[in-house]
Amino acid sequence: MTVPHNQSNHLSINDIHGIKTGHYTDFDSVTGCTAVLCEAGAVGGVDVRGGAPGSRETDLLDPTASVPLIHGVVLSGGSAFGLQTVDGAMQYFKNRGIGHKAGNSRIPIVAGSILFDLSIGLDETPTSESGYKACIAANNKQIQEGTIGAGTGATVAKLMGMDRALKGGIGTYGMTLGDGSMVAAIVATNAIGGVFDYKTGKLIAGPLDQSRTGMLNPMECILDTNWAPPNQVENNTTIGVVATDVALTKSQSQKLSAAAHDGLALSVRPSHTSHDGDTFFCLSTGSSNVSADMDRLIAAASVCVAEAILRSVKLASGIGNVNSVSDLSRIN
């Protein structure tokens, strides 16, 4: 099965020196994973929110932990099964002699986070081999966006149930700041909430109305006294990576991970619910000589995440009986 996807022609996370990204996609099973690699190592951070997360190696990214650098992050569908993809990434690095020296071996540090996409495709989930293939596919060129990689089975606007949801996806966005430093993000959007254009307040993706030709405001839905959580409401979690070429400490990297959630809250409403497990990682490559201006970086991280979320939904293609925003516009 072939689903059209899109390539970015703007700044992306691959424009951060030292970062390269690759996808593995199983269109038949409607799932996949995305590997964000930093083979020379990067200072990592993480911030996990919501009530239903799934992740790996997040404790090592705590500022009090001794591991100084991380070598990659894998974002995957498949719920908890998708954490196997991290094993494949570790094998990829091991085969290339990349990792922290430990005795006669080198141990790569690869973090991971998963989203729930088991309601949309076949009963197949990403494996260790899937993670390895995503790493093999990684490059520093343009990144394909939409229904691909970790965004293949992603869906949004599920407050009224899966039968009234719209297609999510994966998107990336980056910017160069006034001091010459760069910040970028890549996000797989899989939320119970709807998606808004944070600049205009316009609803981009909301639960379908009963006619399936229009959208409802998700905030009005959840605040209605008659609203009740639909079945399988746990099928969520938006995950992503924000990266910068500015050299950060682990504490600063953790702070930038937290700022990424500000961007999520700008575009996804409601966000960070008990049915979401939103997780954002930070990678600091330190390839720039610019000193860290945390307030500027925090602002940039929130904008990059908000824009990446918008791209992930706007560029998604319908799949698995779930229409995309573009499908809906053609219907109307």
6-331: which CATH topology? L-amino peptidase D-ALA esterase/amidase (3.60.70)
Count of other CB atoms within 10 angstroms of residue 230? 18
123-160: b (≥16 Cβ within 10 Å) or e: eebbbbebbbbbbebbebebbbbbbbbbbbbbbbbbbb
Per-residue pLDDT of the chain in tens (332 residues, 90 and over written 9): 444 455 545 799 999 999 999 999 999 999 999 999 999 999 999 999 877 788 889 888 999 988 889 999 999 999 999 999 999 999 999 999 998 988 888 999 999 999 988 888 777 899 999 999 999 999 999 999 999 999 999 999 998 888 899 999 999 999 999 999 999 999 999 999 999 999 999 999 999 998 888 899 999 988 987 887 776 665 688 999 999 999 999 999 999 999 999 999 999 999 888 888 899 999 999 998 888 899 999 999 999 999 999 999 999 999 988 999 988 776 65
Strands 6-7, 144-145: parallel, antiparallel or unpaired by DSSP?
Answer: antiparallel
Which residues on adjacent β-strands are paired with residue 22? Answer: 35
Sign of CA dihedral 6, 12, 17, 21: negative
